[in-house]
Amino acid sequence: MSPKRVFKTKTFDRWAKKVIADDLLCIAAREIERGQYEADLGQGVCKKRVALPGKGKRGSARVLVAKRHPKAIVFLVGREKSESGSDFPDAVTESAKVIAQGLQAQSLAQLDALAANGQLKEICHDQEKR
């Protein structure tokens, strides 16, 4: 089975540019495909720790990811562990679930259209060709 395509939302991309490189997100996406994540939050959303360079997973970023689409994984929300608060607020988690449900119902052609209009950004495509 070929690896799932990996996308990030426009909002996630804006946050991630300052925090985490796409290659680390690609590694995290492959781990998610193997069932390696910290928590299944329901409705196809999981929480995953992503180690930041020089910090390891303990001082890492936390991300919420839509994992249920049969052919795609989508990074939805991220935060650094060092940010105030213990975790994602309930409202953020619930919003991520709603967004995930919508994205997971889309065909790949519809996800491509969202990428073409800038709502999603596809990552990891160069690594698939190796």
55-65 pLDDT per residue, tens: 766 678 999 99
The span from the CA of 109 to the CA of 105, in Å, is 12
Amino acid 81: pLDDT: 77
**Residue 112, CA distances (Å) to 9, 33, 41, 79, 120 in order:** 12, 20, 26, 26, 8
| pLDDT score recorded for residue 87 | 83
Query: What 3-state DSSP class applies to 111?
Result: helix
Say how many domains are in the chain.
1
Phi, psi for residue 97 in degrees, rounded to 5: -65, -40
pLDDT 10s digits, 69-78: 999 999 999 9
Q: Give the residue numbers spanning the domain of 32.
A: 5-129
